[in-house]
Structure 1
């Protein structure tokens, strides 16, 4: 099984598990061993799924401003958790390919494997929710046709991105490409680099 096929299976499982309750406060029950890559993939998609619904909730035009602020803080924390997990997944790949000696002609890729997998997780969510729109019984035929057209594009995109990721991993394994990971170093969460935070001390 290709690595991305494995990823998509776990992503779909996490999305299905979340929608058993469809509640952003549902406790996560990750079924995989904590030290495994599967645990990280499941956790990554679960975080993405919860955040997807938080983003829906915060766009309610009638939301209480205090609740909106609380949700914004929660989304900020979720984004940090997401970034941390992507970096954790990249650490897995660094370990996997630590014995590979890049060829003299090896090239650097535009993004690391884990950041591409991050996009694959989001795509799984887009596909799930676009399929929901296609299946709606309360929507017009025109709406469902437009969503079906968008769904076809998303499925093609998933196929292409999966292939590109698998090819990237093959190239790294063969020494034709090499990994170089830069930590995100987000400044707005750091009280020493965000001027609003260190200016209010």
Structure 2
């Protein structure tokens, strides 16, 4: 597993989504369910759908009932995103379980999967800023500003890829180690959110 492979899968997911460009289009994940590529594709598909839901919800003409429905869908998407990140981290944890960290090894606060989360979102930004650079219906100034931001994003792509590869290498050589802390989100849990358990009478 390396950054090049991960980014290729993220870009593949984004390209597949834009074949229909519709938030209700079903995912066509091409990877086997026991392949890490399956989780990476799934992760980016969630991100890509949510990206477009975030666009829709900001429409000035959206009806209140539509807004509420999409907001709840985004809430569920955030939960799905977190769950998928944790599955990816579990995959890495299993991968590295036989490695004994060296004396003095440092713990990395950001796990591989949460770094991949940032890389996935970054690929979406790159895709959509490229769209702005190529827009023919806007001014040269608009395209130039989009180009400047795209250049920064491409630099960040290189930097995050390097950080990911170095983190994986450091864990494999025992120079760093990872711990997986579950997010333990409370607001979707009817036993922990006081609004939810208050309404249910528990």
TM-score, structure 1 as length reference: 0.98
Structure 1 unaligned blocks of 5 or more = none
Q: What is the aligned partner in structure 2 of residue 123 from structure 1?
A: 122
Q: What is the aligned partner in structure 1 of residue 177 from structure 2?
A: 178
Structure 2 unaligned blocks of 5 or more = none
How far does residue 195 in structure 1 lie from its aligned partner after superposition? Answer: 1.2
Note the aligned Cα RMSD (angstroms): 0.7
Equivalent residues in 2 for 1:3-42 (5 A)?
A: 3-42=2-41
How far does residue 53 in structure 1 lie from its aligned partner after superposition? Answer: 0.1
1:152-199 CA distances to partner (integer Å, 9 max, x unpaired)? 000000100110010000000000101111000011001111111111
How far does residue 47 in structure 1 lie from its aligned partner after superposition? Answer: 0.6
Q: What is the aligned partner in structure 2 of residue 191 from structure 1?
A: 190
1:1-59 CA distances to partner (integer Å, 9 max, x unpaired)? x7100001010000000000000000111000011100000010011000000000000
d(CA) in 2 for partners of 1:105, 1:123: 33
Whether contact under 8 Å (2:7, 2:120) holds in the other structure is: yes
d(CA) in 2 for partners of 1:100, 1:53: 40
Q: What is the aligned partner in structure 2 of residue 167 from structure 1?
A: 166
Partner SS state of residue 199, structure 2: coil
Runs of at least 4 residues of structure 1 off by over 6 A? none
Is 1:51 the counterpart of 2:50? The answer is yes
d(CA) in 2 for partners of 1:187, 1:52: 23
Equivalent residues in 2 for 1:29-178 (5 A)?
A: 29-178=28-177
Report how many aligned residue pairs link the two structures. Answer: 200
Whether contact under 8 Å (2:125, 2:153) holds in the other structure is: yes
d(CA) in 1 for partners of 2:152, 2:109: 23
